[in-house]
Structure 1
């Protein structure tokens, strides 16, 4: 399988490549296969069974990873015509991720602040790690609106085919 084969071979290759990138960031390869599949599945919504089959992941793992992907906003559970659990991915999943990241930043900052308050006798290196954690989350949150506005501008400036002008 590679990027030059048939469309089906390419989809398999894409899912595998995406999963490798996902794994390189410390997440589970199976979770990456699910996200990769959802990016290119060609349907507005798919059942958990379709996701498991298309991603090449066990049904049990699919259930676990869909739950965690739903919690972080990468996928959403949606109503279906059958009893099967149906899932969808926002067309702008990356922008959605950016929008949802703000809550993460605030929680991480609060965690660092709590640790600094509750652990006043930490050694200097540990305190500095926590101070950097708190300040990094504060700093990044300060750019959040700018990043979101810039991303919306990039999308608006694309031509209808989705290519940057």
Structure 2
């Protein structure tokens, strides 16, 4: 895919163009004490129309070394600004930003505060009863993190209300994270699909996903094997559900962030994933695909993609 975007030569009356935006964001982040490269990457991904960009393409577009991109994307991913995106058949690291990148940052910052609080608690256990000064400092650290984390609940709730008041849908990233903190689930309460799939009655689109995307996520050869590994179901949308689950597993998004155009609701996708995991579908699918590859009936790239999906399913099931 091209590293640049359409309309890249457009300039404002003041002479601003996309490159100016990228550089100004970098300078702003640097002035705030963050990395200049971090700001440039965020700005580039915000203003590009490309859904996800590889680390190599970022290096070329920003005219920096791959090493600089690697370090910056790692920091940004850990902070919640960037999301990794897996592309079938590709080994390169791809990155994207949510529409609500700032809500994602708030969610990531809350995770950081949790870790800081736990670290303070652990350090307190190392102190003897006579070490009162460090004990006061560490208690202050712990309590400060608890106080700030409590404020994040109000911030995220207020942000969602602001979006609704201004005609926007609440941010999926912030909503899913905030709900998971209350319910202990990955993305919140998925409801009870009263019609079996729950897609039509809950306002989800019943159209199929983009055929090219669906074909990359679950090629025909892999679906032929997967279909035999799935437990019997009266639903006529199992391939759509399987494709939706594969998207969630390989994109790194939460279940509630599943795009509507996959034709199944987050509840349906999550329920299928849970059921298939209990039925050991992922292992059986992987083993069957490996047999197909050994006999020459399955492409090596498809087999590698199946292995990646299976690993992601195992990770998601145990996390």
TM range, normalised to the smaller chain? 0.7 to 0.9
For 1:47, the equivalent position in structure 2 comes to 54
| Corresponding residue to 2:38 among 24, 28, 31 | 31
Q: Is 1:22 aligned to residue 29 of structure 2?
A: yes
Question: TM-score, structure 2 length as denominator?
Answer: 0.44
1:59-138, aligned counterparts within 5 Å?
Answer: 59-80=66-87, 83=90, 84-120=92-128, 122=131, 124=133, 126-138=134-146
From the superposition, tell whether residues 3 and 48 of structure 1 become closer, same or farther in structure 2 (CA, over 3 Å). farther
Correspondence 1:4 to 2:4: no
Secondary structure of the 1:118 match is: coil
1:73-121 per-residue CA deviation (whole Å, 9 max, x = no partner) reads 2111213366243211111011011122222111111212222332345
Q: Which segments of structure 1 move beyond 4 Å, counting only runs of 4 or more?
A: 120-123
SS of 2:84's equivalent in the other structure is strand
SS in 2 for 1:77: strand
Partner of 1:57: 64
| Contact 1:70 1:77 (8 Å CA) reproduced | yes
Q: CA RMSD in A?
A: 2.6
Instruction: Please give the TM-score of this superposition, normalised by the length of structure 1.
Output: 0.79
SS in 2 for 1:71: helix
How many residues get paired? Answer: 156
| Shift in alpha-carbon separation, 1:111–1:62, aligned structure 2, 3 A | same
* Secondary structure in structure 2 of the residue aligned to 1:60: helix
> Which is helix-richer, 1 or 2?
1
> What is the alpha-carbon distance in structure 1 between the residues aligned to residue 155 and residue 138 of structure 2?
25
Question: What runs of 5+ residues in structure 1 fail to find an aligned partner?
Answer: 161-165
In structure 2, the gaps of 5 or more residues are: 1-10, 169-319
CA contact (8 A) 1:20 1:29 kept: yes
Seen in structure 2, the aligned counterparts of structure 1 residues 45 and 110 have a Cα distance that, compared at 3 Å, is same
Q: Which residue of structure 1 lines up, in the alignment, with residue 20 of structure 2?
A: 13
Deviation at 1:2, TM superposition (A): 9.2
Q: Distance in 1 between matches of 2:60 and 2:12?
A: 20
Query: Which shifted more, 50-59 or 140-149?
Result: 50-59
